[in-house]
Structure 1
């Protein structure tokens, strides 16, 4: 028996029909905040990411990818392409508040599980659909993949060295943002239902969410009609705000405003730049970014990274090392913030996972159960939630439904 959910969303039950990353990111967040999440997986195969390996979590047969986004969930194997499987889904929905899915547009309707079909039977149901391009528009039928969305959404045109090729971000941000926006939409719909009793559909398109987080670069384009160039690690609107070589490596220097630039110059022997009109204000420094970089590079190469961090922090000037992941997870601040959690796993091993970053003072995220092994909770859920007998469960298993 799994530990009872605790947290601000305890009492809510989520039917999770998602796989890979965008959807599981959304449902893991709901689970961390206390919702009971029932994850439906294909018999024998399960979520695709169970096979995204190596690496495996040490001493288990579970992929690190899957374990990273599926904690606080119960795994039920069920073939929803069969009428018997669909009937089980309908029984589950009698006690579920939220359904999250990331099938292609129209795919679940073939099984009688589309939003319009279910809303008629379960008017309080909150139904979140996460797809590559949303439920409407000319691209709606297309499949969505993270690298594809990064390319079509513009971020690849902004990422990389000025004379290099376009680059995607090193982690699947298109998937992650879609999942988080989906979670935000669900929370808004839960609040609406509290007030009205009505459920609704949340339509999340990965391309939409990608366009939404273009942020200052998107606004730079809308303001000028010009495509922002690739700038490597430089900031499009602030200078100097970039990486610089040091005596023994690299550092990020973030001079966010003119008073900070003045403080930098006075502290490190560059007072003469304050009387140079080419360095007078941030907008002028942005126009002369190549000159700023050429001027400050030899200055930054005069000290080691550690020496610069000590000196810059003393002046309250933004700076930081460029950490490897080994550096990140051994960083004393990351450790003090408890960003790695150890959880017991069904294999009998203890697994490490990256913690939820949301710090709530009264109802913090809970870590009740590590990512489940395939089908770990099938009998438990069918018996205790659906109310099926052992004979009925055995019958479904014999037919290959479970």
Structure 2
């Protein structure tokens, strides 16, 4: 097997909750040695629900889903007693990742200038709600919903008839994580040329605003406010989620050839040549009157998967709407290693989403287990310098 892509890269992980741990988990998946630096007793998400019951006790599923393949050391980053150990750890690292509010590391005496003094080759990546540069909202606290709402990424915009709804998944966190990984890898690549590290500043708000690029461009270029919650696309039809006999599927007729292929599958010879339906704009304008009644009738005779298969095989983008329970058994997900079995304890495993980055030739398998707080204190810290008894005792 080929060596892992990030083999030999040491990452210090000071993160918690979602945006930071998801990023460092992806780095661990790629073969980096990720060392989770936790306060004594472990970081906060180790206790958050929902809980997985095992013979050894209860484990936080919140924690398990984001921390596979990482090592753990425990120390108090704010204490003068542990400071020498912390600084030696920083000197040994290639990357440091944190997702505290801006100013937190500075309060520990670890601003960017000090980090550069300790390790000029260090890549320092921060993930925060609104970034570390000067801005009106720099010091605001933020979770994913804050970033999604302020960046306009909601499933429907507020009107007198309907209220806005959050996306439901933590996109504000995970999209920022992906940009952080991208920035870290780019900084490591630049380091191979310059020999020096970089600072990577990722804001969740920025990440979500970049996802909202379509709405921004339409508003700027056409003066049109895109309603993200409508059941009819403003320029294409049928395009969206539609109900079949046993559930829902998505159908994306975005081009005229898609429309012709759709009509052949559904047996709509008359609609295929109807002059009112020859362009996307016309199909959107006439969707409710001309297309929707026939679409409901056709889908009522098929399951969501049957309809999706027929359309996809004819070249029309379509797929059944799947629930989490469906994904655990999904043949496509299994074939792409996107559902993995990670050992939670010696006798218990948990199914988790895999890593979507697939590189050929395939690298050697990476660790997927989970560490107890301070499990690797002796392995990691003893090689640096003597460390306090209260730290080594938790190893």
TM-score, scaled to structure 1: 0.89
Structure 2 CA distance for partners of 1:238 and 1:160, relative to 1, 3 Å = farther
Deviations 1:204-236 (A, max 9, x none): 000001101113233222222332113345445
Q: 2:202 aligns with which of 201, 204, 209?
A: 204
* Pair 1:8 & 2:5 matched: yes
Match of 2:170 in 1: 172
User: 2:364 & 2:379 partners in 1: Cα distance?
Assistant: 24
Q: 1:394 aligns with which of 365, 389, 393?
A: 389
* Pair 1:52 & 2:48 matched: yes
After TM superposition, list the pairs within 5 Å mapping 1:288-327 onto structure 2.
Answer: 288-291=286-289, 292-327=291-326
Task: Give the superposition deviation at 1:199.
Answer: 0.9
Match of 1:342 in 2: 341
Deviations 1:295-338 (A, max 9, x none): 52233224333442343244232222211211111122222222
Structure 2 CA distance for partners of 1:113 and 1:244, relative to 1, 3 Å = same
How many residues are paired up?
Answer: 391
Alignment partner of 2:318: what SS? strand
Match of 1:266 in 2: 264
User: 1:141 & 1:215 partners in 2: Cα distance?
Assistant: 25
> Which sits farther off after the overlay, 264-273 or 182-191?
264-273
Task: Give the superposition deviation at 1:30.
Answer: 1.0
User: 1:375 & 1:321 partners in 2: Cα distance?
Assistant: 44
Task: Give the superposition deviation at 1:11.
Answer: 1.0
Task: Give the superposition deviation at 1:344.
Answer: 3.5
Task: Give the superposition deviation at 1:264.
Answer: 1.8
* Unaligned 5+ runs, structure 2: none
> Which sits farther off after the overlay, 361-370 or 187-196?
361-370
User: 2:256 & 2:155 partners in 1: Cα distance?
Assistant: 29
Structure 2 CA distance for partners of 1:261 and 1:395, relative to 1, 3 Å = closer
* Pair 1:40 & 2:37 matched: yes
> Which sits farther off after the overlay, 160-169 or 92-101?
160-169
Alignment partner of 1:56: what SS? strand
Match of 2:65 in 1: 68
User: 1:358 & 1:58 partners in 2: Cα distance?
Assistant: 31
Match of 1:359 in 2: 358
Match of 1:332 in 2: 331
Q: 1:142 aligns with which of 125, 140, 162?
A: 140
Deviations 1:234-260 (A, max 9, x none): 445431111222233322222231112
Structure 2 CA distance for partners of 1:237 and 1:187, relative to 1, 3 Å = farther
User: 2:6 & 2:234 partners in 1: Cα distance?
Assistant: 40
Deviations 1:129-167 (A, max 9, x none): 110000121111111111111111101164799943211
User: 1:234 & 1:50 partners in 2: Cα distance?
Assistant: 43
Match of 2:150 in 1: 152
Alignment partner of 2:82: what SS? helix
TM-score, scaled to structure 2: 0.91
Task: Give the superposition deviation at 1:37.
Answer: 0.8
Q: 1:250 aligns with which of 248, 251, 270?
A: 248
Match of 1:368 in 2: 367
Task: Give the superposition deviation at 1:340.
Answer: 2.2
Structure 2 CA distance for partners of 1:218 and 1:9, relative to 1, 3 Å = same
User: 2:35 & 2:286 partners in 1: Cα distance?
Assistant: 56
Structure 2 CA distance for partners of 1:24 and 1:283, relative to 1, 3 Å = same
Give the aligned CA root-mean-square deviation in angstroms.
Answer: 2.5
Is the Cα–Cα contact under 8 Å of residues 158 and 228 in structure 1 kept in the other structure? Answer: no
Alignment partner of 2:241: what SS? strand
Task: Give the superposition deviation at 1:169.
Answer: 1.5
> Which sits farther off after the overlay, 28-37 or 233-242?
233-242
